[in-house]
Amino acid sequence: MAELVSARYATALFDVAVEGNKKKELMEELNNINFLFEENKSFMEIYKSPVISNSEKKDLIKKIFEGKVSDYMYNFLSVLVDKNRVSYISGIFNEFKKLYNDSENIAEAIAITAIKLSDEKLEKLKANLCKITNKTIILENQVDKEVIGGMLIKIGEQELDGTLKKRLNEIKENLREIKA
How would DSSP label each residue in 89-127? HHHHHHHHHHHHHHHTTEEEEEEEESSPPPHHHHHHHHH
pLDDT in tens, 52-106: 999 999 999 999 999 999 999 999 999 999 999 999 999 999 999 999 999 999 9
Predicted confidence (pLDDT) at residue 180 exceeds the cutoff of 70: no
**Looking at the DSSP assignment, which residues form a beta bridge with residue 143?**
113
| Residue with more model confidence, 16 or 2 | 16
Interatomic CA distance for residues 174 and 164, integer angstroms: 15
pLDDT in tens, 26-53: 999 999 999 999 999 898 999 888 899 9
Domain residue limits, the chain:
2-102, 105-179
Predicted confidence (pLDDT) at residue 178 exceeds the cutoff of 90: no
Interatomic CA distance for residues 6 and 83, integer angstroms: 13
pTM: 0.83
Domain 2-102 fold is Peroxidase; domain 1 (1.10.520)
The DSSP code for 52 is S
> 111 and 117 in contact (C-beta within 8 Å)?
yes
Residues 139-151, mean pLDDT to the nearest whole number:
93
Residue 104 has φ and ψ, to the nearest 5°, of -100, 5
Mean pLDDT of the chain: 93
